[in-house]
Amino acid sequence: MVRNSLLSGGGTGYKTPHLKRGWNLSLFPAAQREHLHQKMSENGALPRGGKVLTVDTMNANVKKVDYAVRGPIVQRAVQIEKELKEGVKKPFEEVIKANIGDAHAMGQRPITFFRQVMALCTYPQLLDDNKFPEDAKNRARRILQSCGGNSIGAYTTSQGIECVRHDVANYIQRRDGGIPSDPDNIYLTTGASDGIVTILKLLTAGEGRTRTGVMISIPQYPLYSASIAELGAVQVNYYLNEEKCWSLDISELQRSLQAAREHCNPRVLCIINPGNPTGQVQSRQCIEDVIQFAAKENLFLMADEVYQDNVYAEGCEFHSFKKVLFEMGPEYSSKVELVSFHSTSKCYMGECGFRGGYMEVINMDPEVKAQLTKLVSVRLCPPAPGQALMDLVVNSPKPGEPSYQTFMMERTAILSALAEKAKLTEEILNTVPGIRCNPVQGAMYSFPCITLPERAINEAKAKGQAPDMFYCMKLLEETGICLVPGSGFGQREGTYHFRMTILPPTDKLKILLNKLKEFHQKFTQQYS
Amino acid sequence: MVRNSLLSGGGTGYKTPHLKRGWNLSLFPAAQREHLHQKMSENGALPRGGKVLTVDTMNANVKKVDYAVRGPIVQRAVQIEKELKEGVKKPFEEVIKANIGDAHAMGQRPITFFRQVMALCTYPQLLDDNKFPEDAKNRARRILQSCGGNSIGAYTTSQGIECVRHDVANYIQRRDGGIPSDPDNIYLTTGASDGIVTILKLLTAGEGRTRTGVMISIPQYPLYSASIAELGAVQVNYYLNEEKCWSLDISELQRSLQAAREHCNPRVLCIINPGNPTGQVQSRQCIEDVIQFAAKENLFLMADEVYQDNVYAEGCEFHSFKKVLFEMGPEYSSKVELVSFHSTSKCYMGECGFRGGYMEVINMDPEVKAQLTKLVSVRLCPPAPGQALMDLVVNSPKPGEPSYQTFMMERTAILSALAEKAKLTEEILNTVPGIRCNPVQGAMYSFPCITLPERAINEAKAKGQAPDMFYCMKLLEETGICLVPGSGFGQREGTYHFRMTILPPTDKLKILLNKLKEFHQKFTQQYS
Residue of B58, B104, B151 with shortest CB distance to A148: B104
- The residues pairing with B341 across neighbouring beta strands, listed in sequence order, are B304, B359
**Angstrom distance (rounded) from CA A523 to CA B463:** 76
Cβ separation B354–A385 shorter than 8 A: yes
Q: How much is the mean pLDDT over chain A?
A: 90
Q: Classify domain A68-107+409-526 at the CATH topology level.
A: Aspartate Aminotransferase, domain 1 (3.90.1150)
Phi, psi dihedral angles at B154 (to 5 degrees): -85, 155
> Nearest CA of chain B to the CA of A167: how many Å?
19
Residue of B23, B54, B193 with shortest CB distance to A365: B54
Residue of B48, B110, B377 with shortest CB distance to A153: B110
Cβ separation A363–B5 shorter than 8 A: no
Write the ipTM.
0.88
- For the cut 90, the answer to whether the pLDDT of residue A518 exceeds it is yes
Cβ separation B350–A122 shorter than 8 A: no
Cβ separation B368–A190 shorter than 8 A: no
Which of A26, A33, A58, A299 best probes binding to B when mutated, by most B CB atoms within 10 angstroms? A58
Cβ separation B190–A190 shorter than 8 A: yes
Cβ distance B386 to A380 under 8 Å? no
> Nearest CA of chain A to the CA of B223: how many Å?
6
Q: What are the chain A neighbours of B155 within 8 Å (beta carbons)?
A: 100, 102, 105, 352-353
Cβ separation B155–A364 shorter than 8 A: no
Cβ separation A223–B378 shorter than 8 A: yes
Q: What are the chain B neighbours of A223 within 8 Å (beta carbons)?
A: 378
Average pLDDT of span A502-525: 95
Average pLDDT of span B196-204: 96
Torsion angle of C-alpha atoms A515, A518, A519, A520, degrees rounded to 10: 120
Average pLDDT of span A257-270: 97
Average pLDDT of span B459-471: 94
Half-sphere exposure (Cβ direction) of B421: Cα atoms closer than 13 Å: 28
Long-range contacts of A510-516 (CB under 8 A, 24+ apart): A510/A424, A510/A428, A512/A96, A512/A98, A512/A481, A513/A424, A513/A425, A513/A428, A513/A429, A514/A428, A515/A479, A515/A481, A516/A429, A516/A432, A516/A475, A516/A479, A516/A481
> Nearest CA of chain B to the CA of A111: how many Å?
10
CATH code of the domain made up of B174-382: 3.40.640.10
Cβ distance A175 to A358 under 8 Å? no
**Which amino acid makes up residue A438?**
N
- For the cut 60, the answer to whether the pLDDT of residue A4 exceeds it is no
- For the cut 50, the answer to whether the pLDDT of residue A21 exceeds it is no
> Nearest CA of chain A to the CA of B491: how many Å?
20
**Angstrom distance (rounded) from CA A353 to CA A351:** 6
Average pLDDT of span A223-241: 95
Give the SS3 label for residue A67: coil
Q: How many CB atoms lie within 10 A of CB A316?
A: 16
- For the cut 90, the answer to whether the pLDDT of residue B50 exceeds it is no
Average pLDDT of span A32-61: 62
Cβ separation A355–B190 shorter than 8 A: yes
Q: Write down the pLDDT at residue A67.
A: 74
- The residues pairing with A441 across neighbouring beta strands, listed in sequence order, are none
- For the cut 60, the answer to whether the pLDDT of residue A89 exceeds it is yes
Among A322-326, A341-345, A484-488, B389-393, name the one with the lowest average pLDDT. A484-488
Q: Which residue has the higher pLDDT, A69 or B442?
A: B442
**Angstrom distance (rounded) from CA B461 to CA B475:** 17
Fill in the DSSP letter of residue B25. G
- For the cut 70, the answer to whether the pLDDT of residue B47 exceeds it is no
Closest-approach residue (CA) in chain A for B149: A105
What is the number of H-type helices and E-type strands within chain A?
19, 14
Cβ separation B367–A223 shorter than 8 A: no
In A345-384, at which residue ranges do the beta strands (DSSP E only) sit? Answer: 357-362
Q: If pLDDT is split at 50, 70 and 90, which confidence band does B34 have?
A: very low
> Nearest CA of chain A to the CA of B52: how many Å?
6
In B122-228, at which residue ranges do the beta strands (DSSP E only) sit? Answer: 186-190, 212-218
Cβ distance A266 to A260 under 8 Å? yes
Give the SS3 label for residue B327: helix
Chain pair A-B, CB pairs under 8 angstroms? 313
Give the SS3 label for residue B215: strand
- For the cut 50, the answer to whether the pLDDT of residue B10 exceeds it is no
Average pLDDT of span A178-199: 96
Q: If pLDDT is split at 50, 70 and 90, which confidence band does B48 have?
A: very low
Q: If pLDDT is split at 50, 70 and 90, which confidence band does B69 have?
A: low
Q: Write down the pLDDT at residue A44.
A: 36
Q: How much is the mean pLDDT over chain B?
A: 90
Cβ separation A203–B59 shorter than 8 A: yes
Q: What are the chain A neighbours of B298 within 8 Å (beta carbons)?
A: 50, 52
> Nearest CA of chain A to the CA of B336: how many Å?
8
Which of B52, B112, B363 best probes binding to A when mutated, by most A CB atoms within 10 angstroms? B52
- For the cut 80, the answer to whether the pLDDT of residue B32 exceeds it is no
> Nearest CA of chain B to the CA of A148: how many Å?
4
Q: Write down the pLDDT at residue B20.
A: 33
Q: Which residue has the higher pLDDT, A222 or A25?
A: A222
Which of A355, A361, A375 best probes binding to B when mutated, by most B CB atoms within 10 angstroms? A355
Q: Which residue has the higher pLDDT, A142 or B9?
A: A142
Could you check whether B68-107+412-526 and B174-382 share the same CATH topology? Answer: no
**Angstrom distance (rounded) from CA A151 to CA A333:** 39
Which of A55, A127, A202, A374 best probes binding to B when mutated, by most B CB atoms within 10 angstroms? A374
Cβ separation A203–B55 shorter than 8 A: no
> Nearest CA of chain B to the CA of A527: how many Å?
33
> Nearest CA of chain A to the CA of B275: how many Å?
19
Cβ separation A119–B105 shorter than 8 A: no
Cβ separation A154–B126 shorter than 8 A: no
> Nearest CA of chain A to the CA of B522: how many Å?
31
Which of A2, A46, A59, A202 best probes binding to B when mutated, by most B CB atoms within 10 angstroms? A59
Q: What is the pTM of this model?
A: 0.89
B68-107+412-526: in CATH 3.30.565.10: no
Which of B151, B198, B214, B301 best probes binding to A when mutated, by most A CB atoms within 10 angstroms? B151
Q: What are the chain A neighbours of B378 within 8 Å (beta carbons)?
A: 65, 67, 193, 222-223, 226-227, 230
Torsion angle of C-alpha atoms B258, B260, B261, B266, degrees rounded to 10: -110
Structural domain boundaries in chain B:
2-58, 68-107+412-526, 174-382
> Kind and range of the H or E element at A199?
helix A191-203
